[in-house]
């Protein structure tokens, strides 16, 4: 991946690079009136929007088609190992999380508005994720 973050034709974001051996970051990326910051390498990928966590994965991942539409957050995540993903959502709210089209359950975000879940990537490489307000 040449850019650490970019906007796609449909308005979604593509960011991250899990192949990097050391941490790289890009600050002050403007999209849709917001300022994004991305940090990424093989151990972690983190995206912030206006200083607030949007996405974080351990280990690092590549993310494409990252888009919020109303009560839905959707993206495709790619990595060589299974990942623990945390997304920023509304505080203390229930969400239905779907991975590769299958519901992995309804989960409640914490007081800080963070929702964490695991994604199996080792055998699949790339999967679609949807987080929908329940």
% of the chain with per-residue pLDDT over 70: 99
pTM, 2 dp: 0.95
Half-sphere exposure of 31 (CA within 13 A, CB side): 22
pLDDT at res. 67? 97
The 3-state secondary structure of 18-87, one letter per residue: CCCCCCEEEEEEEECCEEEEEEEECCEEEEEECCEEEEEEECCCEEEEEEEECCEEEEEEECCCCEEEEE
Please state the domain extents for the chain. 5-133
**For domain 5-133, which architecture applies?**
Sandwich (2.60)
What is the tens place of the pLDDT at every residue in 13-30?
999 999 999 999 999 999
């Amino acid at each position: 991946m040449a850019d650490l973050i970019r906007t796609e034709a449909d308005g979604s974001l593509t960011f991250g690079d899990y192949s990097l051996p050391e941490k790289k970051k890009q600050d002050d990326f403007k999209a849709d009136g917001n300022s994004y910051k991305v940090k990424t390498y093989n151990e972690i990928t983190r995206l912030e929007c206006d200083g607030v966590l949007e996405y974080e994965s351990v280990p690092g991942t590549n993310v494409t088609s990252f888009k919020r539409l109303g009560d839905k957050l959707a993206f495709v995540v790619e990595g060589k190992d299974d990942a623990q993903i945390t997304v920023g959502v509304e505080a203390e709210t229930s969400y239905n999380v779907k991975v590769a089209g299958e519901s992995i359950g309804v989960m409640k975000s914490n007081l800080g508005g963070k929702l964490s879940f695991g994604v199996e990537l080792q055998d699949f490489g790339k999967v679609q994720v949807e987080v929908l307000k329940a």
